């Protein structure tokens, strides 16, 4: 676990999660569609040193995206997140939702970037 290090050089957090909207695989897919072509998706910013990750805006904790077995994942997956973030699982144990304070983004050089911040950084890459 890392403390939330902001991409905007330590300024006040610009990251907010929508209350009442759990992070789900469907939300991740919708975000991928929204940010496609902008540099705000894993496939487009990996070359810029970005790794898919999640941040809990309530605690500042960040976690890189991982498969359920702990291996680093090349895309955003919920299965490797800590149990205390999980609010729902399928009958076969897959994570289907994590708490609503969690946002998808990226880690680069120890700092968390939202999708929008990563997209902006990629325009300068």
Residue 73, C-beta contacts closer than 8 angstroms, at least 6 positions apart:
52, 64, 65, 66, 67, 80
Is-above-0.85 flag for pTM?
A: no
Mean pLDDT of 87-115: 96
Residue 71 has pLDDT above 50, yes or no: yes
Mean pLDDT of 60-88: 96
Contact by Cβ (8 Å): 53, 105:
yes
Q: How confident is the prediction for the chain on average, in pLDDT?
A: 87
Q: What is the pLDDT of residues 49-58, one digit of tens each?
A: 999 999 999 9
The residues facing 3 across adjacent strands are 61
Mean pLDDT of 13-32: 76
What are the structural domain ranges in the chain? Answer: 2-123
Q: What sign does the CA torsion over 45, 123, 59, 18 have?
A: negative
In the chain, what percentage of residues exceed pLDDT 70? 83
Please report which confidence band the pLDDT of residue 21 belongs to, taking 50, 70 and 90 as the band edges: confident
């Amino acid at each position: 676990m890392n403390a939330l290090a902001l991409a905007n050089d330590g300024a006040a957090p610009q990251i907010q999660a929508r209350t009442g909207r759990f992070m789900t695989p469907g939300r991740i897919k919708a975000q991928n569609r929204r940010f496609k072509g902008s540099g705000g998706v894993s496939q487009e910013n990996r070359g810029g040193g970005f790794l898919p990750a999640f941040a809990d805006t309530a605690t500042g904790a960040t976690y890189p995206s991982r498969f359920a077995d702990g291996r680093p994942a090349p895309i955003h997956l919920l299965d490797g997140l800590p149990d205390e973030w999980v609010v729902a699982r399928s009958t076969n144990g897959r994570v289907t939702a994590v708490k609503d304070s969690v946002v998808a983004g990226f880690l680069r050089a120890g700092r968390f970037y939202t999708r929008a911040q990563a997209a902006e950084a990629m325009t300068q890459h």
